A and B are shown apart, each in its own frame.
Chain A
Amino acid sequence: MIRFLVRRVLFGILVLWLISVAVFVLFFVAPHDPARAIAGRQATAETVALVEHRLGLDQPVLTQYWHFLVRLAHGDLGYSYYNSEPVRSLIVARLPVTLSLTLGGAILWLLLGVGIGIASARHPRSLLDRSATVFVLGGLSMPTFLVGLLLLYFLFFRLHLLGVDAFPGGGYVPFTQSPAQWAQHLILPWLTLALVSAATYSRLTRGSLLEVFGEDYVRTARAKGITEQRVVYRHALRSALTPVVTQLGIDVGALLGGAIITENVFGLPGLGQLAVQSVVTQDLPVIVGIVLVAAFFVVAANIVVDFLYAVLDPRVRRR
């Protein structure tokens, strides 16, 4: 079990290293002129050369890459071209927002999606199953920003006109400052993520569960005389969750790199918003930082998924 995990982690580090190479090649070797960008259009050639020297851009590419790696290993992602702040602190400041948004959303869409999936699978072709299908089609075909805007319109704007301010229209309050306000500000973003994703999860759970219901060991469980409840939750669901866990790893990993649309609709100062800003201002060190952090989350999420597989299925542990 431990060997299995160590292997996964080493493999993850390898992937991250490859991504760092790709990022370096793309952003430090591709033709662009960061020194001029920093010094400004009117700067003299000397000033530009000075900036270039300070950034180490006058050194050979391999040396630059070595310095890049060494700094990376120390957690130093360089400084923003835009406001000279350390990229690391920029990212660290945004991380709690994205973490809160993604994890809360994930819990909500799991409850919603898996719950609907179980109900649909237990009564296939029932009224409930059919309504769930409609709900799913709606969720699948609506873009995230539309769901977000609709929620804002009905649950913030219309309620606001009625004099009810149950849900704020945007912004973020840190958990440490006020847990209640934190949750209140995040409910609509969470709902947005949940409504968009629950569809996928309910279909996934339904299909997987229906397949497992046909397995011999589920029949064995019924033949034992245990309750149907137990057959579904202890025997069938455990096997049926494998594809759900996979999908969850992919989605959470991707969202942690920045839930760009949701963050922008609700004005949440998360990684996604930072990414958009830094692309607009061509703030390359920040972009690189975000790419690396996003890659880290995807890799980490995959390791967690592998770990969960091993927890769920003893047969995986041997591999």
Chain B
Amino acid sequence: MVVNLLEVNGLTVTFPTPDGPVRAVRGISFGVDRGRTLGIVGESGSGKSVAALTLLGLTPGASVGGQALFGGDDLLAMSEPELRAVRGARIAVVFQDPLSSLHPMYRVGWQITEAIRAHTPASRRAARERAIELLGMVGIAQPRRRIDDYPHQFSGGMRQRVMIAMALALGPDLVIADEPTTALDTTVQAQILDLLHRLQQELGMALIIITHDLGVVAQTADEVQVMYAGRIAETADRRTIFYRAHHPYTLGLLGSVPSAAGRGRLTPIAGQPPSPIRLPSGCPFHPRCAYRMDRCTVEEPPLLTVGGGPGHRSACWLPVDARRSEVMV
């Protein structure tokens, strides 16, 4: 078995609250290697962002279990200084809303050079030159002039380019993009995804894209992992997810994606995502599932290998060779 750059095993994340523990992530395993893109898809509250940010210790107050091997070292067992050396330098994050994620009171150049100088002994001048180079690389015109602008002087798409430049500043091995296009206009979304994809191809890093939008995954991901209620519902390569999906939840997501051709009606998934404090018995998706069986209400299905393709696994009690996606799509 090939050892991936990142190997997460049995990750659990629980937040204590006055109403009881919120089990945001309930034992998930995944991996991603250099040059590959993993798409993590799910509704808000499915635990997709928490799972990724916990790797970097960015979920304060959480109690965390499991193992996250990054280049052989367990991120979850690292001390704060050890983890700090990884953050920003070897694993970088691109956040959702670039307006709120960049500090409004500092120039973008300052914010980028700060990251560089936190991890390298680069001089102020060298860091600045590197920042200008990075801004040019992510497609910001006249970077030498724009470097001294404040975030509010950029458009949404340009701000996200600044975020990406900051993430790439130290040539990380892994970039986690947490809903990188959600806050942007549709036309800009495609540009940002292209940029991320192109840079990944050039720099050969591993990329995790977290999104609620299957359209984003369709453009970029090699492997896709669908999350529901803190667990992985289904995981497979991109083609399998889109053409031979097994889990009814994945099928529901596919049915609710509007297509540009505009054919067919959208089929929303009935009901609401479950409360993470009071999860349903058995399979957490069963209250919303059209294929519910008696077994689903009492016994939670593990991730089972199903027949769509290599590595195709689904947490569903339906027969392994069920191929309803052909019927539905």
Mark A residues whose CB is within 8 Å of B. 215-217, 219-228, 230, 235, 238-239, 312-315
Contact = CB atoms under 8 A, between A and B. Distances in A.
B89 A217 contact: no
Given A220-B101, A225-B89, 12 more contacts: A216-B100, A219-B95, A222-B58, A223-B92, A224-B88, A226-B115, A227-B84, A228-B80, A239-B104, A239-B105, A313-B104, A313-B105
A225 B152 contact: no
Contact of A224 (B96, B104, B114): B114
Nearest to A220: B101
Q: Which 3 A-B pairs have the closest CB atoms?
A: A225-B88, A225-B87, A224-B88
A217 B93 contact: no
Residue among A219, A224, A230 with max Cβ neighbours from chain B (10 Å): A224
B56 interface: yes
Range, interface on chain B? 20 to 34
Contact of A314 (B58, B89, B105): B105
A216 B94 CA distance: 11
A223 B56 contact: yes
Contact of B103 (A220, A223, A227): A220
Contacts of A225: 84-89, 115, 118-119
Contact of A238 (B86, B93, B105): B105
Nearest to B102: A217
B118 A217 contact: no
9 contacts: A216-B96, A219-B95, A219-B101, A220-B166, A224-B166, A225-B89, A225-B115, A238-B103, A313-B104
A226 B118 contact: yes
A226 B86 CA distance: 11
Contacts of B105: 238-239, 312-315
B87 A224 contact: yes
Given A216-B95, A315-B150, A222 B103 contact: no
Contacts of A238: 103, 105
A238 B92 CA distance: 24
A215 B115 CA distance: 18
Given A224-B87, A224-B88, A314 B152 contact: yes
A235 B88 CA distance: 16
Interface string B159-185: 000010010000000000000000000
Interface string B94-138: 011100111111000000001100110000000000000000000
Contacts of B86: 225
Contacts of A315: 104-105, 150, 152
Decide if the interface of chain A is mainly helix, strand, loop or mixed.
Answer: helix
A226 B114 contact: yes
A215 B86 CA distance: 22
A238 B110 CA distance: 15
Contacts of A227: 84, 118
Given A223-B58, A227-B84, A216 B97 contact: yes
B107 to A, nearest CB: 8
A32 to B, nearest CB: 53
Contacts of A239: 103-105
Nearest to A242: B105
Nearest to B116: A224
Contacts of B152: 314-315
Interface in B138-169: 150, 152, 163, 166
Contact of B150 (A219, A223, A314): A314
Nearest to A318: B152
Contacts of B104: 217, 239, 313-315
A226 B100 CA distance: 19
Contacts of B163: 220
A239 B151 CA distance: 15
B93 A223 contact: yes
Nearest to B166: A224
Contacts of A221: 103
A68 B314 CA distance: 88
Interface string B12-41: 000000000000000000000000000000
Contacts of A314: 104-105, 150, 152
A217 B87 contact: no
Interface in B42-77: 56, 58
